Amino acid sequence: MKKKITIIGSGFSALSAACYLAKKGHEVVVFEKNNSIGGRARQMRKQGFTFDMGPSWYWMPDVFERFFADFGKKTTDYYELIKLNPAYRVYFGVEEFIAIADNLDEIVAEFEGIERGSGKLLREFMAEAQSNYDIAIKDLVYRPGVSPLELVSLETVKKIGQFFGNISQDVRKKFKNEKLIQILEFPVLFLGAKPSDTPSFYSFMNFADFGLGTWHPKTGMFDVVRAMENLATELGVQFFVNSNIEKIIVEDSIAKAIVVNGERIESDLVLSGADYHHTETLLDSEFRQYSEKYWESRVFAPSSLLFYVGFNKKIENISHHMLFFDTDFNQHAREIYDEPQWPTAPLFYANFPSVTDKTAAPDGMESGFFLIPLAPGIEDTAVLRAEYFDKIMQRFETITKQSVKEYIVFKESFCKNDFVEQYNAYKGNAYGMANTLLQTAFLRPKLKSQKVRNLYFTGQLTVPGPGVPPALISGKLVSDLIDKQFQKEKL
Ligand SMILES: Cc1cc2nc3c(=O)[nH]c(=O)nc-3n(C[C@H](O)[C@H](O)[C@H](O)COP(=O)(O)OP(=O)(O)OC[C@H]3O[C@@H](n4cnc5c(N)ncnc54)[C@H](O)[C@@H]3O)c2cc1C
């Protein structure tokens, strides 16, 4: 029977769930508090410059293909993908960088040139990473985190040791060169924790990086949001923006309605794609499953200081994605996770979409995005933002040997306070709850409320975890659970 399902938020997980639920024949209505959809992946267009406000690395193209294939579609029905070469550059000092090529053979040769014998070791490491990818991304992450037994299979039992070792140890066992170590530790940062707190099994992220490559939708990550919005609309989903959900109404322990901008909207089922902690605050306290103490004890992914910058000239010596690892990685990690404070000497990331996509900036100009990872919950002031902008601009100018500051014609910042205010993000986290051993699979917050019937959750605080591909998967997992409930009710 057709049900009315209201969805809170329009991030990737909500968009994914909306598509699956509409395909099942339900009436699906999405309510987004901001004035455009996409959640953390919104787009900003100002003065001729276009910026993806959040995600910029399109990894795991197979996950996106699998999503669209579930609707009889291909990504190319909606957007064009470009494989980046180099995938990215990692800077260690003035004009001192390693460029990661778009194929493993060249990366192996690069490694060998830096540390003798490391090429063969890299192939061994990647073979294991690929095997983990096959187990994790093709299978395990598509399980809903309901029971620990989901993780038990012939393959995972063979790899049990990898759940107790960590990426940092593994990489150090094989490689001695600090630069190579940092490059191999980089991909798991997407999972939100330190490499030393990320189980070895997560080396599948290295396969995503070197094995599958870094892609770019032709006019930016927002192409994917648009694609999913189009697919959802084709399936009959309705979208409302500027629609803040103020309350989830529960009667007899059943979710009955939501309150949107003061208006009660009846629902057969409520699904929230907003941050889990925030969603629970929309419930009366007796219906919340997790205490403040619980959230306080979780390891959250970092918050970030972001800058969207327009330059009125072409910048030299740049590539699409650039990582600035010219300072102490361990100290910055400590200042995010162990002793939260503004980083003494921040690592940072920059991307210049206009290198690949001419529409991202006016002719002869460049659009740049800069990101400094920060401890969640940290103090955020205009003075600190300005101080850190100067710090990274100075480093950027020295390292790439040019002056750029005087060519800035547009600049906007986004930091912890904006994550809280615009996305209701717990402690202003940028990308959810980290995937540590104790926050994996069935140990993450549940997709289905244990206290309120017909209330479900999706998104980066649930399974499988942070990132765009996991968000697509999370939407599928929750819609499968919802469907299971409806099928049971029919019997
Ligand atoms: C700066 C940054 C860089 C990133 N880089 C990458 C990357 O390169 N590659 C990658 O794969 N991932 C990246 N990520 C992570 C990725 O973007 C996220 O994991 C993913 O987009 C999260 O999707 P979501 O659906 O879980 O949540 P969100 O996108 O946060 O969606 C939640 C939505 O709910 C809305 N909402 C909240 N409260 C309410 C309410 N009361 N009423 C109505 N609506 C509400 C919010 O406004 C938001 O639109 C990055 C994230 C950030 C922030």
With contact defined as beta carbons under 8 Å apart, do 388 and 414 qualify? no
With contact defined as beta carbons under 8 Å apart, do 416 and 303 qualify? yes
Closest residue CA from atom 1 of ligand 1: 54
pLDDT at 215: 98
Residue 470 CA: which ligand 1 atom is closest? 19
pLDDT at 114: 98
With contact defined as beta carbons under 8 Å apart, do 332 and 347 qualify? yes
pLDDT at 347: 97
pLDDT at 138: 84
- Ligand 1 site residues, Cβ closer than 6 angstroms: 8-14, 31-34, 39-41, 54-57, 244-245, 273-274, 278, 304, 306, 371, 423-424, 430-432, 459-460, 466-468, 471
With contact defined as beta carbons under 8 Å apart, do 36 and 300 qualify? no
Q: How far is the CA of 201 from the centre of ligand 1 (A)?
A: 25
Closest residue CA from atom 48 of ligand 1: 39
Closest residue CA from atom 33 of ligand 1: 9
How far is Cα of residue 110 from the mean position of the Cα atoms in its chain?
Answer: 28
Residue 432 CA: which ligand 1 atom is closest? 19
Q: Distance between CA 232 and CA 225 in Å, rounded?
A: 10
Q: Distance between CA 484 and CA 448 in Å, rounded?
A: 12
Closest residue CA from atom 22 of ligand 1: 460
Q: Distance between CA 351 and CA 92 in Å, rounded?
A: 17
pLDDT at 240: 98
Q: How far is the CA of 145 from the centre of ligand 1 (A)?
A: 21
Q: How far is the CA of 14 from the centre of ligand 1 (A)?
A: 10
Q: How far is the CA of 107 from the centre of ligand 1 (A)?
A: 32
With contact defined as beta carbons under 8 Å apart, do 256 and 44 qualify? no
Q: How far is the CA of 304 from the centre of ligand 1 (A)?
A: 13
Q: How far is the CA of 227 from the centre of ligand 1 (A)?
A: 16
Closest residue CA from atom 38 of ligand 1: 274
Per-residue pLDDT 10s for the chain (491 aa) are 899 999 999 999 999 999 999 999 999 999 999 999 999 999 999 999 999 999 999 999 999 999 999 999 999 999 999 999 999 999 999 989 999 999 999 999 999 999 999 999 999 999 999 999 999 998 899 999 898 888 888 888 888 888 889 999 999 999 999 999 999 999 999 999 999 999 999 999 999 999 999 999 999 999 999 999 999 999 999 999 999 999 999 999 999 999 999 999 999 999 999 999 999 999 999 999 999 999 999 999 999 999 999 999 999 999 999 999 999 999 999 999 999 999 999 999 999 999 999 999 999 999 999 999 999 999 999 999 999 999 999 999 999 999 999 999 999 999 999 999 999 999 999 999 999 989 989 999 999 999 999 999 999 999 999 999 999 999 999 999 999 999 999 87
Exposed e or buried b per residue across 443-453, where buried means at least 16 C-beta atoms within 10 angstroms of its C-beta: ebbbbbbeebe
Residue 53 CA: which ligand 1 atom is closest? 1
What global pTM score does this model have?
0.98
Place of tokens 């991202």: 360
Which token pair is 249?
């109404």
